Amino acid sequence: MITKIRLLIVDDHLLIRLGLVTIFSDQPDITVVGEASSGRMAAELFAKTRPDVVLLDLKMPGLSGVETIKLLQEQSAAVCVVVLTTLDQEEEIFRALEAGAQGYLLKDMRKEDLVEAIRAVHRGERWIAPLAGARLAERLVRKELSDRELEIVKLLVHGKSNKEIASALSLSEDTIKWHMKNLLEKLGTHDRTQAAVIAIQRGIVKI
């Protein structure tokens, strides 16, 4: 006999909940033990059904997804939450994962990947949608760069030479060269132009 993954679905949109139930009803190893339309209802159902995984909409009226995660953790520190959302904003990704979510999925993903994500998280793995993972990586890169390096990379993106950067920041050219060396290493390149491209692509510098 297959031991089924017990899944609780939390989303304030009825049609989305129905769609998710339909997707998982076809899976021999997953059973939906409850549906909730709010964070408060999720907490009540969690206490009654004790699911293995909670699939949670991040943006809901009343309690937010992040607040709901914290509420569920009051019942069980080992609660396994997968966030499902249309949002790919960096701050939302960070807050959900920081709150304890093991997965961050986007609603436009393929249903096959959605199902596999639930299985993976149940096995104790993390599952983060590629776009969300890229945004998270951008944040980590920005945290890694010092304030001075951020100043320098902004000027670099605008085509400034070391001499011009030194003048703008009232530093010696040798000091700029030292910061530039560290900056290039952190961005994973030895080329100034490529560093500027990476900084723009990762959102380190907005233009």
Indicate if 104 and 183 belong to the same structural domain.
Answer: no
pLDDT in tens, the chain (207 residues): 678 999 999 999 999 999 999 999 999 999 999 999 999 999 999 999 999 999 999 888 888 888 999 899 888 888 899 998 886 566 677 788 888 889 888 888 889 999 999 999 999 888 887 767 666 666 666 667 888 988 999 999 999 999 999 999 998 998 999 999 888 888 878 889 888 888 887 777 877
Range of the domain at 74: 5-138
Contact between 26 and 9 under an 8 Å Cβ cutoff? The reply is no
Indicate if 17 and 87 belong to the same structural domain.
Answer: yes
Query: Which of 138, 161, 188 is where one domain is finished?
Result: 138
User: What is the distance between the alpha carbons of residues 126 and 111, in angstroms, rounded to a whole number?
Assistant: 18
Indicate if 12 and 92 belong to the same structural domain.
Answer: yes
Query: Which of 84, 111, 138 is where one domain is finished?
Result: 138
- Whether 78 maps to a domain, the answer reads yes
Report the domain count for the chain.
2
Contact between 115 and 82 under an 8 Å Cβ cutoff? The reply is no
Indicate if 134 and 50 belong to the same structural domain.
Answer: yes
Residue 107: the pLDDT is 84
- Would you call 110 exposed, middle or buried from its count of C-beta atoms within 10 A (0-12, 13-18, 19+)? exposed
How many helices and strands, by DSSP H and E, does the chain display? 10, 6
The pTM of this model reads 0.66
Indicate if 56 and 134 belong to the same structural domain.
Answer: yes
Question: Is 83 in a helix, a strand, or coil?
Answer: strand
**CA nearest 68: which of 45, 92, 87, 40?**
40
Residue 43: the pLDDT is 93
Residue 33: the pLDDT is 96
DSSP 8-class letter at 201 = H
Indicate if 158 and 109 belong to the same structural domain.
Answer: no
Query: Which of 116, 138, 160 is where one domain is finished?
Result: 138
User: What is the distance between the alpha carbons of residues 156 and 154, in angstroms, rounded to a whole number?
Assistant: 5
| CATH of residue 153 | 1.10.10.10
User: What is the distance between the alpha carbons of residues 169 and 69, in angstroms, rounded to a whole number?
Assistant: 44
| CATH of residue 112 | 3.40.50.2300
Residue 81: the pLDDT is 94
Strand partners, 57: 84
- Whether 207 maps to a domain, the answer reads no
Indicate if 133 and 149 belong to the same structural domain.
Answer: no
Indicate if 171 and 117 belong to the same structural domain.
Answer: no
User: What is the distance between the alpha carbons of residues 57 and 49, in angstroms, rounded to a whole number?
Assistant: 19
- Whether 206 maps to a domain, the answer reads no
Indicate if 150 and 188 belong to the same structural domain.
Answer: yes
